[in-house]
């Protein structure tokens, strides 16, 4: 089973292809999508266990020797991210059954999701920098379809912006990879790491580091490259927004974490200092946005920006606590953002508006929605023992160890802003005088609640079960802090 690490990529791809044959048969589409995601999830759990027991898994496609062929590498970090991606996709797909509508389902909605998951999992797993670009394109092209699907006026406007931004950043990505190749003469990520160590990171490599930060920064929406995100993400319907918000920016964040721990580790004083300054600014700008809006979607979307800042702040510390905190927080954020987007989707469905000022008194009619939203909100802010706490604690610990006192104070203070921004949603939507609600189907409300509740419960377990997760996180951190483990796994022969 040396191909095991490819299964979470191949299975969604296979099922996406099969779905192309059943364009009109919505029931068949749903069943096949569900089977595909569940099968990939099983494979990814199996992969997780294998990586835990046998260490980093690596394979070079086409039986070519390692630095020449395309390597795929699954270390603990990518196995964890792949598993989280598939878990999230499962719940979003179930949520879509009720909420997305037949029109979209008939026009390749599910194939697009599965192709996107193929791309996301591929980007998490690949060990070749050019192949990473290819998987970025796979997920981006699927996301272009998802953002424009439905053809509402707002979607068309925002998709032009989204496509433009991403085409520019993809072009820059290829240019940067070419630049890197011209310096080190290899595309295999493990080999690049070895070569950079040999030449001791001269100035040109630092320049490439900054260019890569710009490329991934556009995808991952760090300050000042986040300008496209709030508009574009607000356009598509909620399940798509949940997938985008929870997965796509995280691919950019993962790519930054990977390249900044594997390649550019010899001039930390410059590269990681920039990363840290930008992440602090990202947190600040996100906080301003999260408080500025009265629109449910915008508030949570700006919380994505804050989370990206927090994760990268942790990753920039380059010490054990900082990195493992970043990994903890990364996975926490994928789960909790998924949960929150699904919950606000239900709030928007029930009230028929996303404007906070027009809501009120939902607690009287939809109490479970309120309580689960509250739990998710506390989780997002990081109130112990919920899931955001451990990550932030470790990141702060790492930052204090590295002597970045002010940064960690800002990071911790941002938790209060996060809490305030989501509590405002709770207060406006659930307290106060009940407003007249549009007629909605109680049955679809209940059906949409199930996946949302499952996500919240999952994030609770993630917080409470931290103790059991620590061995996995330690493995993931070890590989990031000690690139030789990664390199040995790829170039072993």
Binding interface with another protein (CB under 8 A): 1-3, 6, 10, 13-14, 17-18, 20-21, 23, 59-63
Shortest separation between residue 61's beta carbon and another protein, angstroms: 4
Q: What is the DSSP string of 424-471?
A: HHHHHHHSSSPPPPPP--HHHHHHHHHHHHHHHHHHHHHHHTHHHHHH
Q: Which is nearer to another protein, 72 or 196 (CB)?
A: 72
The CA-CA-CA angle for residues 324, 328, 330, to 5°, reads 110
**Which residue, among 8, 163, 158, has the nearest Cα to 89 in the 3D structure?**
8
Shortest separation between residue 138's beta carbon and another protein, angstroms: 12
Q: Which is nearer to another protein, 33 or 477 (CB)?
A: 33
Shortest separation between residue 54's beta carbon and another protein, angstroms: 16
Count of CB atoms situated within 10 Å of the CB of 51? 24
Shortest separation between residue 16's beta carbon and another protein, angstroms: 8
Three-class SS state of 60:
strand
Shortest separation between residue 145's beta carbon and another protein, angstroms: 13
Shortest separation between residue 88's beta carbon and another protein, angstroms: 24
CB 345 within 8 A of CB 337: no
* Residue 356 DSSP code: G
Q: Which is nearer to another protein, 10 or 454 (CB)?
A: 10
Shortest separation between residue 164's beta carbon and another protein, angstroms: 20
Three-class SS state of 228:
coil
Q: Which is nearer to another protein, 62 or 438 (CB)?
A: 62
Residue 353 φ then ψ, to 5°: -150, 160
Tell me whether residue 85 is exposed, middle or buried, using C-beta atoms within 10 angstroms of its C-beta: 0 to 12, 13 to 18, 19 or more.
buried
How far is residue 75's CA from residue 65's CA, in Å, rounded to a whole number? 20
Shortest separation between residue 251's beta carbon and another protein, angstroms: 22
> HSE on the CB side for 35, CA within 13 Å?
11
How far is residue 360's CA from residue 351's CA, in Å, rounded to a whole number? 9
Q: Which is nearer to another protein, 43 or 92 (CB)?
A: 43
Q: Which is nearer to another protein, 21 or 468 (CB)?
A: 21
Q: Which is nearer to another protein, 10 or 163 (CB)?
A: 10
Q: Which is nearer to another protein, 63 or 203 (CB)?
A: 63
How far is residue 56's CA from residue 230's CA, in Å, rounded to a whole number? 37
How far is residue 146's CA from residue 108's CA, in Å, rounded to a whole number? 9
């Amino acid at each position: 089973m040396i191909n095991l690490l490819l299964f979470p990529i191949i299975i969604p791809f296979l099922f996406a292809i099969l779905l192309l044959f059943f364009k009109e048969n919505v029931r068949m589409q749903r069943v096949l999508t569900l089977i595909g995601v569940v099968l990939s999830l099983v494979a990814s759990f199996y992969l997780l266990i294998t990586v835990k027991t046998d260490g980093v898994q690596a394979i070079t496609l086409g039986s070519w020797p390692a630095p020449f062929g395309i390597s795929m590498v699954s270390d603990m970090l990518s196995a964890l991210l792949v598993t989280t991606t598939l878990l999230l996709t499962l719940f979003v797909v179930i949520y879509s059954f009720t909420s997305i509508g037949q029109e979209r389902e008939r026009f390749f909605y599910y194939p697009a999701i599965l192709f996107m998951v193929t791309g996301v999992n591929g980007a998490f797993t690949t060990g070749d920098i050019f192949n990473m670009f290819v998987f970025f394109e796979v997920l981006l092209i699927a996301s272009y379809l998802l953002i424009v699907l439905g053809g509402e006026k707002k979607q068309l406007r925002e998709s032009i912006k989204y496509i433009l931004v991403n085409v520019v950043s993809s072009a820059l990505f290829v240019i940067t990879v070419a630049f890197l190749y011209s310096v080190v003469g290899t595309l295999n990520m493990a080999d690049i790491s070895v070569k950079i160590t040999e030449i001791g990171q001269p100035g040109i490599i630092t320049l490439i580091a900054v260019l890569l930060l710009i490329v991934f920064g556009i995808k991952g929406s760090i300050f000042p490259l986040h300008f496209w995100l709030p508009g574009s993400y607000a356009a598509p319907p909620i399940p798509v927004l949940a997938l985008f918000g929870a997965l796509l920016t995280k691919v950019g964040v993962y790519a930054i974490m990977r390249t900044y721990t594997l390649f550019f580790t010899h001039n930390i004083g410059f590269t990681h200092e920039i990363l840290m300054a930008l992440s602090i600014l990202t947190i600040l700008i996100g906080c301003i946005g999260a408080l500025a809006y009265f629109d449910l979607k915008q508030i949570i979307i700006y919380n994505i920006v804050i989370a990206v800042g927090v994760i990268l702040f942790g990753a920039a510390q380059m010490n054990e606590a900082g990195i493992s905190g970043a990994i903890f927080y990364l996975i926490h954020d994928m789960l909790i953002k998924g949960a929150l987007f699904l919950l606000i989707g239900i709030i928007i469905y029930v009230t028929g508006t996303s404007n906070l000022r027009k809501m009120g008194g939902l607690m009287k009619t939809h109490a479970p929605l309120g309580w689960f939203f509250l739990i998710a909100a506390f989780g997002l802010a990081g109130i112990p023992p919920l899931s955001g706490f451990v990550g932030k604690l470790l990141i702060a610990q790492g930052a204090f160890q590295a002597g970045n006192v002010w940064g960690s104070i800002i990071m911790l203070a941002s938790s209060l802003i996060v809490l305030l921004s989501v509590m405002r949603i709770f207060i406006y939507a659930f307290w106060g005088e009940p407003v007249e609600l549009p007629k909605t189907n109680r049955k679809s409300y209940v059906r949409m609640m199930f996946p949302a509740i499952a996500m919240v419960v999952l994030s609770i377990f993630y917080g409470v079960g931290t103790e059991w997760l620590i061995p996995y996180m330690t493995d993931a951190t070890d590989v990031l802090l000690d690139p030789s483990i990664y390199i040995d796994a790829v170039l072993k022969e």
